[in-house]
């Protein structure tokens, strides 16, 4: 499981770029719907062009055939896992600083065991305890900033992210369950192409596009700014393609609910990476002792996941 946690933490490093760039686009006057929709337009372009460039046309064709065969499933999974998730994150960036969004997003660490339970899979109690320890660490890292914030802004920024925090693992787990089979309400998809994390991200991305079209029609935002086109391209590449592919790969390599929860817990690293980036790249202040305690708890939670991996696990 060391390798899975390593891949998950690498994904968290690339994911951490999302929060700063979304906030920057909002402060420049860009509408949140364009910040979200353009990311997935760029992702679609990158994910389709990638196989063509590297000579994996067969992978692309197999993925598109699978999309055609199970279009209802990919529409549902893409809408929940990518659409509702990212709409909440980008909407929140219009009302709250990046740290509020990034911190609140860590609720997904606690949401993951609940999502697994909803799919009929139990996470061992120790896994829930380790996850709670990681989340407590994240709270301590940011508690000083929360105390200084306007709580009305925090709430407007937090609620959409809370919804997003459940939607993201719910959509990804839907794909995991369809691949594993055993659910009457989900198709059992047996296809070699699903072994490729790149293809899974492509299918979820294409499945989310109708959601973004409806969102644009409903909100009717002004045209995107020039900065949004460039910033969303960076978000799409770093977070949408690289980070998501790494994270989906790690989840699909997990053998049981315990390992799934452990991989999901690595997302806590997003706040830590954002903190390091702020200090080293943006000249931010060093964390206070309370924040360092939170960092220690987060690292401890991940270490405990590793130390307990050899014990019997419920699935």
pLDDT digits (tens, 9 = 90+) for 254-301: 877 777 777 877 877 777 787 777 677 656 566 678 777 877 887 787
> Maximum Cα–Cα distance for the chain, whole Å?
55
**Radius of gyration, alpha carbons of the chain:** 19
Residue 80 has pLDDT above 90, yes or no: yes
pLDDT, the chain, mean: 83
Would you say the pTM of this structure is higher than 0.95? Answer: no
Q: How confident is the model at residue 312 (pLDDT cuts 50, 70, 90)?
A: very low
Q: Check: CB of residue 205 under 8 Å from CB of residue 40.
A: yes
Which residue carries 């909440």 as its tokens?
88
Strands (E) across the chain are located at: none
pLDDT at position 315 is 38
With a CB cutoff of 8 Å and minimum separation 6, the contacts of 202 are 44, 47, 48, 60, 63
pLDDT for res 283: 63
């Amino acid at each position: 499981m060391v390798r899975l946690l390593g891949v998950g933490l690498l994904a968290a490093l690339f994911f951490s770029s999302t929060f700063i760039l979304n906030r920057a686009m909002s402060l420049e006057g860009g509408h949140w719907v364009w910040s979200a929709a353009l990311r997935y337009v760029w992702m679609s372009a990158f994910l389709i062009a990638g196989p063509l460039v590297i000579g994996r046309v067969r992978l692309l064709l197999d993925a598109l055939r699978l999309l055609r065969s199970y279009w209802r499933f990919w529409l549902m999974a893409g809408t929940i896992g990518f659409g509702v998730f990212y709409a909440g994150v980008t909407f929140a960036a219009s009302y709250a600083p990046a740290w509020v969004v990034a911190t609140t997003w860590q609720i997904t660490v606690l949401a993951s065991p609940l999502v697994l339970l909803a799919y009929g899979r139990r996470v061992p109690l120790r896994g829930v305890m380790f996850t709670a320890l990681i989340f407590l660490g994240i709270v301590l890292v940011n508690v000083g900033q929360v105390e200084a914030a306007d709580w009305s802004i925090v709430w407007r920024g937090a609620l959409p992210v809370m919804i997003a925090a459940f939607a993201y693992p719910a959509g990804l787990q839907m794909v995991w369950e369809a691949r594993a089979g055993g659910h009457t309400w989900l198709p059992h998809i047996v296809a070699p192409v699903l072994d490729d994390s790149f293809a899974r991200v492509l299918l979820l991305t294409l499945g989310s596009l109708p959601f973004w079209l409806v969102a644009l029609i409903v909100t009717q935002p002004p045209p995107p700014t020039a900065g949004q086109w460039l910033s969303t391209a960076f978000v799409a590449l770093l977070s949408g393609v690289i980070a998501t592919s790494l994270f989906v790969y790690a989840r699909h390599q997990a053998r049981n609910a315990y390992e799934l929860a452990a991989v999901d817990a690595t997302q806590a690293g997003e706040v830590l990476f954002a903190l390091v980036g702020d200090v080293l790249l943006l000249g931010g202040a060093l964390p206070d002792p309370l924040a360092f305690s939170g960092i220690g708890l987060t690292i401890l939670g991940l270490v405990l996941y590793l130390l307990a991996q050899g014990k019997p696990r419920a699935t």
